[in-house]
Structure 1
């Protein structure tokens, strides 16, 4: 079925916080339309209602319940119900534990040393049946050898030594199920974390086939650390290839794995420990190196580690691979159906799921990570849309402390239908889009770091939706804004950053292959914080406006010399804390004007260009509390530039639009976005020829989509979750499919990444089809030349409004602008055919 889709005007509707449904354009996002009854501690994918479609069951620790969400076989999950499950459910197993043929469930109750049995009725419902299943303690003497006197204590003739001391099993958690004793009935292995009074253990319970169990003395798995519960996970697999199930426990407290070899009749051998050197948070088993012996993969603090099995029950540390921030779950499956085992990893603090493709040799390739929700807690996999590829399903918590079940459908080739995170490793201050390697695809540039470690880095886009990472290059100290433009007029994009601590801007001249020269600096006013490119002296050489937050706020105008250097032409005093700039034409003439968002003064300064690098000012325009970002667009389709402002401190109507004209700027509309808007960008995202707006929201950790309507208004249609604290936003057609995508730079220390949101459902434009005839040829170069006769730059959605009509495909490289760089991209696409 693809993405969760709700047909409302052709875009995607949030249901309730993550997924966009089809309304004329669809961004790729996980389906998060199903809420959970509480905090998920365990998750299982199985056919609960006997309809031959996979469903999902979660154990919810804080509400003493299990949730059942049924599947339709097309990837859509529908809420079914909530069922009591005893106190603090921490582990979950689903199997046919009685003889009626319906799936049942067993949960571990973390605070009562017991399990709860839930009988299934075959249509998706459960009911607690019988008394709690108590887990046996560990005794210093075998019960058959102990005195066990039943006399009253005063008359008890047994000594303490004769009785034997028993310690209760504390903190039961993870559960695995299989037939351990060969009787054809489902049995249980239950991991218990232990506490200060006893070590961690695995308890074995043999099923009787009627929903009851016979427990045997538990097996100690490792020395417990009170601050770090020892057993993080348990699984049942045949580690020594004797066709008999064995039990494996991953021990966080003792940083090892314990193996108990089974004899097939319910007995187990002595514990075999293998040190791994790190504290595992979860464990999974599969033959990763394809030698015929099961291997293990554990999740740990900063990635995953393969433990290679020798077929005798011993494991040695093998290849490791990075994932997201704080992995807490791992599933092994063949994600791309190439015959090799791959890994799905849930990352608790970076809000995403990592896909690591296996090489069949015992290792994994680099991770691709996809946003699930604010805080993934548990993960499972299954073919939920029945297309032959395993999908990921996650129990997660959002920023409002509500719990949901994101479903990330599998596109194959290691890509999930979801927002993708590009790991940077440091908090990302800003991002910008442009074709830096001249391959007709826009790339992503980011800045990060501080002091001598301040850097810019480029991610080169590929037509498959992936990116190639380049080597970071040094900038000035504490870069906080960047832009891309051809400052030395060599038809290769250069990069410029504002550097807050060194009070300057750095220009890095591009080589046209994704690499850059060393930075050249030009001084600005104190504490530069934002920049925007324009042609302020009408010589067709890019210039730069720089906003500085010193006292008072100021905008420096740096004119380009055409060789990559800049010279200061003017400084204009503005209001308090100028955070953002935008360039457009707001007074009816052809000169570039500059808008300044004064965050501390709640207003906009309008600097009207004279065409010679100087500006005249007017009274500031009050726009609302906390203007943080500006996007230029022609919303009312009158040929004059309008602008939209993101208002970070307005709780409700936090996007305001103002219309420009020769007579001045007037208020047009206001509309709600998300919680604390941080950045705003305008493009024709739904492909209907009208500008739309996407807003990043720093507290709600999402983007909001506002689409342009036939009545020249904006309509709020939904939101898509990205990683934490999106700070800036860029939009371009990164995968070259004719639709504008979105990227956010995420500033939280737990994220340290860029989220890329692919647009997969809008009407596609044929890039380099400048005249709109559905073909590529020399006539399209003529259309581009005529479009640029009016101006050196323009917007594709306005292509038909100048002296010569063109089509949106005139934006040949998909960067969202019509510039001379599109000439090279047009030629590239004509001759390469893509």
Structure 2
């Protein structure tokens, strides 16, 4: 039994030892980690995306239209692209001179490229490129500034932009370059964001409410790290353009939740964007464009408002230098994208929207006859069209329409049919999964327009390249970009002269830049750049006004814009610059928002109903802090353009929640934007563009209306610019004749004076009345004339005016000086300044005493002069100034003077010349007067240090005082003399002296301190020095090789006579030092001293190593885990065995007790018997066991 018990005890002990071996302990930890991972995985199910079950995924589905007897488009052509094409663009993506098509495939994380095949006259099958996670937008442009077209996607889910650069050498795209942008980039644009002549990349970051700007760096040949700027909440679209018509590129975003646009205006003075200016637009603006929406030569802003089906148009107002309130137009249901272009090839600009919920596009054609858009024309396209572009898709010289169909994984192409004069039914091309954004441009830099789509689901862009041979697009070429690309732009992102592609990657918080590689004739792999949180819109433009294209991204999640400026030196982008904008920036645009000639950045801030404007400041070479302007509810898209056709850029947002556009027109007088003008558009406008939609030469505003399934077109009235009859018009008499050439039922003749507009005539067109208007004006002033072709009697806006100035005012001037007393035979100057006229000065003449009428001599800057020499004595003589202008107005004035014979010399008084110390300046003053005029006061001073032996004129200080300041370098008594002369030649003479006191005193010192220090610690040597004149320098010398200035070093002047020097010695021991003091006269003094440097102990007291504490803590944690494991093991495995052993031991103990008791009893019985027998046991005898 003992052996059995020992065996059990050994087994128990062995189990403890076995459990706590290294191998088993590691196994236990691995088991614990795996168990935790399985537990987490079991409670967090994966997020599953499901596609539309109705999608057939076909590649060549034609949707027939009803037969038409009028000019129309052909039936649509479809092409397969990647999974869920979200965006489409047209451009020459493979740089072969043919236009191609590119889609961003949202679920496929790829782009599909349909290149045009000239041989087959069709598009090749798609080429795909992997991009970031969920590419939302794709654009084609010269991303790296090499002259080649590249592809860029905004990858929604990974916060990057994917860039495919075209390589000419290998005639393909390089591998994807990625750039980090903001959080959830929703849109991307390529353009010169900072106005440096280089193309940049800009993304709109939905999550962080910013734009990310990737500026091209010429030096590094790459993009700088992102620059961020805050815009509105959830910026959904970004564009780069001259938003405020100042010649500078700005950035504009449509802010989905703010119902406004953010405008980041480029500020030339600081070389940066100003803070965002926000303008209210419609509800949920999701797309924004900049263009001349109302055809007045000014850039305007148009947004597509997703929620209310409208477009918001922000027209630029030149008069106030700001945008007017938004004008809105109803379009289709849930417009997701809006573009402006010549959709029907009649030379007039039209508006097209992609209507997400209606599976249609709406086309608003401009009607020249009525000066307005026709009712919308709709065309059926694929399921859930996300993006639309206008461009020459099949390279036949005609403009076509391309749409990215999100759930069909294809693109619809509506080719214009010249024969029928309409678009063909849509042509579809397969692209990636869930295309979100589309751009048209020369994606492959071959001179042909291509299409690029950002596919959100498969993180790619689809590029549809135009094939000249086939006259069609090639099958899609895809390129991988970042996660969830939701915006794409085409532009020269890396400033190499080639077009590149940039996407905002909403899921990766980055932009993908696909640069074109001329060498390989293909795009490079996308380059990603980090931007802000949830980037949405992106724009490419010269964001920092250095001539290089940059990238600007609006970050919805972080309420910023990310700006990647191009660095020419490194030929890449600089690190991103971020700028805060409004909350939820949804869209961004680059353009000259404040009309100062510099490009700015504007974002549409969805959450705060505002736009943020980052104006570029040339002085600081940076963007100013954001300027915000209120716009409509939930601006979804923003655009910069001449909205009100006044030649100045305005900002327009599409307000998605109130179904309006907000138009912030520029006001030249106040150099700011006017408060927003709003115009009703369709339900939920999501995208807005400005362009000549009706081809009348006026910029109009077009929105894509998401819920209304239409587009809204806000046209600008057709205003004629009359010509003045050069022969018959006589401004002086107020006789005006206007001529114009046009055909219309009626014309309204407007005359505006002092901001009061009057209808002064109605001229019907016909045989009786020619296109001429005549009137006579009696009041002086400037009159503005405009002729409006109309069939009504009311109109309140004047823009395209002809001004006539009626001049009734003579020239004016100021008589600066003339002598009222003149001496006979002495020249006298008569000077006129500020000679100006309302029109033009014709003659400036002068006569004396009614004789000798001569012209005065022009001096420039409106100044005139004449020298007059009197010949006779007498008072009451006069001269006459005679001024005339080109229309016969005259100004005649007389001025009187007296001529005398001058024999008197000048007189003087108050001569002062104080004594000075050597090295200090002396000022000599004298008052001089003359009965006519002093000519000069000449000074002479003795000594070789006076540089003018022939004398020097003293300076006239006013009030008859003349002065000269001189610093002598020779001590002693110095003589000087002054000669006075008047204009008649009379002279006077005066002399005197002054004393220059030499300096022989040395500097004095006190309070010399140099404390002892420990080795490695600094010693501060300090001394107070003074001098009777001035201390020149205090020179310090310190012994030892560790003092780096063997020739001494000047000590630092600390004020109040104190000089100081701080030195950290590296050699221990007693250190000698000396100080030389010198004043400005060369006098020197010397002082020396010492200080002790003590060596430090090599063993630090009470030093308890941190590593030991960490090790001790780690051991404690491990021991705790081991104890817990041992406890669990003992509880469930060893405890039963211990219990069994305890029970067995208790049984054995009981048996031993019973045996002992039995033996004791027997012994007692034996002892009793022995006692009874008379025998007693000896104590040593054993009684038994």
TM range (shorter): 0.3 to 0.5
TM-score (norm 1): 0.41
Q: Which has the higher strand share?
A: 2
Structure with higher helix content: 2
**TM value normalised by structure 2:** 0.30
Larger radius of gyration: 2
